[in-house]
A and B are shown apart, each in its own frame.
Chain A
Amino acid sequence: MGDLVAEKHVQYILSVQKKKDSFESVVMEHLRMNGAYWGLTTLHLLGKLDTVDVHEVVSWIMSCQHDEGGFGGNVGHDPHILYTLSAVQVLALFNKLDVIDADKVTNYIVGLQNEDGSFSGDIWGEVDTRFSYIAICCLSLLHRLDRINVDKAVKYIISCQNMDGGFGCTPGGESHAGQIFCCVGALAIAGSLDLVDKDLLGWWLCERQVKSGGLNGRPEKLPDVCYSWWVLSSLIMIDRVHWISKEKLIKFILDCQDTDNGGISDRPDDAVDVFHTYFGVAGLSLLEYPGVKPIDPAYALPVEVVNRIFFSK
Chain B
Amino acid sequence: MHGRPRKPLKEEDESVLSAKAEKLHSLQSQFLANHQNRIYTKEALDLSAKLLEINPECYTAWNYRKLAVQHNLSESNSDSDASLFDQELKVVENALKKNFKSYGAWHHRKWVLSKGHSSIDNELRLLNDFQKADARNFHAWNYRRFVTALMKISDEDELKYTEKVIGVNFSNYSAWHNRSVLLSTLFKRKAEGFSHKEKVLQEEYKYVHSAIFTDSDDQSGWFYHLWLIDQTVKNDAPLLVSSWPSHGANITLNGNNSLHGSGLSLLNSTLSDTKTLPVILCFNQAVEGVNSSTVVVKSELLKEDLVWKPLSTNNSSTAQVWVVYLNMGNMKLQLSKTYSIEINIGHSMGILSSNGYHYGAPSQITFEVCVQTAYTEPVDGQRGKLTSWKDNDFRKIDHFEESNPAVSADHHIPTTSNWCMEAIDEEITNFQDLSDCKIRKLTLARLLIALDLLSPQHDKRKNHTEEVLKLYTELMKLDPTHSLYYKDEHSLLLLQQITSSRESLIPYCHYYKDASETNTSYVCLRLQNLSLSRMGSFENLLWVQMLDLSHNELRSIEGLEAMQLLSCLNLSHNKFGSFTALGPLRLLKSLKVLNISCNELGSHSIDTRRYLCSSPLAHSEVFAWDRFEILCGSYSATKFWEAFLIFESLNLTDLNIAGNAVADENFASFIVKVLPTLKLLNDEEL
**Chain A partners chain B:** yes
- B142 to chain A: which residues have CB within 8 Å? 168-170, 173
CB pairs A–B below 8 angstroms (25 shown): A25-B21, A27-B57, A30-B28, A30-B57, A122-B63, A124-B63, A140-B619, A163-B181, A172-B145, A174-B174, A175-B177, A194-B316, A200-B226, A207-B222, A218-B173, A220-B218, A236-B606, A238-B612, A244-B482, A266-B1, A270-B3, A272-B6, A288-B606, A308-B638, A312-B638
Residue A5 is within 8 A (CB to CB) of chain B in the complex: no
Chain A residues with Cβ below 8 Å from B242 are: none
Complex: chain A residue closest to B224, CB-CB:
A163
Query: Which residues from chain B contact A25 at a C-beta distance below 8 Å?
Result: 21
Does A191 contact B60, Cβ atoms closer than 8 Å? no
Whether the Cβ atoms of B145 and A237 lie closer than 8 Å is no
**A31 to B24 Cα, complex, angstroms:** 15
Assess the B619–A189 pair: CB atoms within 8 A.
yes
A164 within 8 A of B: yes
Interface residues on A, range: 35 or more
Give residues of chain B (171-191) contacting chain A, Cβ–Cβ below 8 Å: 171, 173-174, 177-178, 180-181, 184
Listed residue (A80, A126, A172) with the most chain B CB atoms within 10 angstroms of its CB: A172
Residues on B with C-beta less than 8 A from A194 are: 286, 312-314, 316, 318
With A219-B173, A310-B617 as given contacts, are A163 and B354 in contact (CB-CB < 8 Å)?
A: no
Chain A residues positioned under 8 Å from B484 (CB to CB): 242-243
Chain B residues with CB under 8 A of A272: 6
A193, B177: Cβ atoms closer than 8 Å: no
Pairs of residues from A and B, 9 with the lowest C-beta to C-beta distance, nearest first: A191-B620, A188-B611, A219-B219, A191-B618, A23-B21, A294-B605, A163-B180, A243-B485, A163-B227
In whole angstroms, how far apart are the Cα atoms of A174 and B178 in the complex?
7
Measured CB to CB, the closest approach of chain B to A304, in angstroms, equals 8
- In the complex, the answer to whether B485 meets A174 with C-beta atoms within 8 Å is no
Q: Which of A51-59, A69-77, A98-106 contacts B (4 or more CB under 8 A)?
A: A69-77
Judge whether B481 and A245 touch: CB under 8 Å: yes
A23 touches which of B17, B227, B555 (Cβ 8 Å): B17
Q: Which of A176, A286, A311 has the most CB of B within 10 A?
A: A311
Contact B138–A77 (Cβ < 8 Å): no
Mask: chain B, 605-628; 1 = CB below 8 Å from A; 0 = not = 110111110101111100101000
| Distance in angstroms between the alpha carbons of A299 and B617 in the assembled complex | 9
User: Cα distance A218–B177 when bound, in Å?
Assistant: 12
Residues in chain A near residue B614, CB distance under 8 A: 191
Q: Contact: B5 with A269, CB < 8 Å? A: yes
Given contacts A23-B24, A288-B604, 12 further A-B contacts (CB under 8 A): A25-B21, A78-B63, A122-B63, A124-B63, A190-B618, A194-B312, A242-B484, A273-B1, A294-B605, A303-B605, A307-B638, A308-B638
Q: Which of B1-45 contact A (CB under 8 A)?
A: 1-7, 17-18, 20-22, 24-25, 28, 32, 35-36
CB distance from B176 to the nearest CB of A (A): 9
Question: Is the C-beta of B116 less than 8 angstroms from some C-beta in chain A?
Answer: no
B residues within 8 A CB of A237? 608, 610-612
Q: Which residue of A lies closest to B556 (CB)?
A: A239
| Chain A residues positioned under 8 Å from B66 (CB to CB) | 124
Contact (Cβ within 8 A) A312 B314: no
Among B7, B24, B222, B616, the residue within 8 A (CB) of A26 is: B24
- A164-B223 in contact (CB<8A): yes
| A77/B618 in contact, CB under 8 A | no
Given contacts A27-B55, A30-B59, A209-B481, contact A189 B618 (CB under 8 A): yes
CB within 8 Å of A: which of B211-241?
A: 218-220, 222-224, 226-227, 230
Q: For residue B184, which residue of chain A has the nearest CB?
A: A163
- Chain A contacts for B2, CB-based, 8 A: 224, 266, 270
Residues of A within 8 A of B612 (CB): 193, 237-239
For residue B58, CB closer than 8 A to chain A, the reply is yes
Q: Does A94 contact B (CB under 8 A)?
A: no
Cβ proximity bits B122-151 to A, threshold 8 Å, 1 near / 0 not: 000000000000001010011001000000
**Shortest distance from the beta carbon of A279 to any chain B beta carbon, whole Å:** 11
The residues of B that contact A72 with a CB separation of less than 8 Å are 60
**Which residues of the partner chain B approach A128 to less than 8 Å between Cβ atoms?**
103
Q: Which residues of A contact B1 (CB under 8 A)?
A: 266, 273, 275-276
A22: chain B residues within 8 A (beta carbon): 17, 21
Assuming the contacts A162-B177, A270-B4, asked whether A220 and B219 have C-beta atoms less than 8 A apart, the reply is: yes
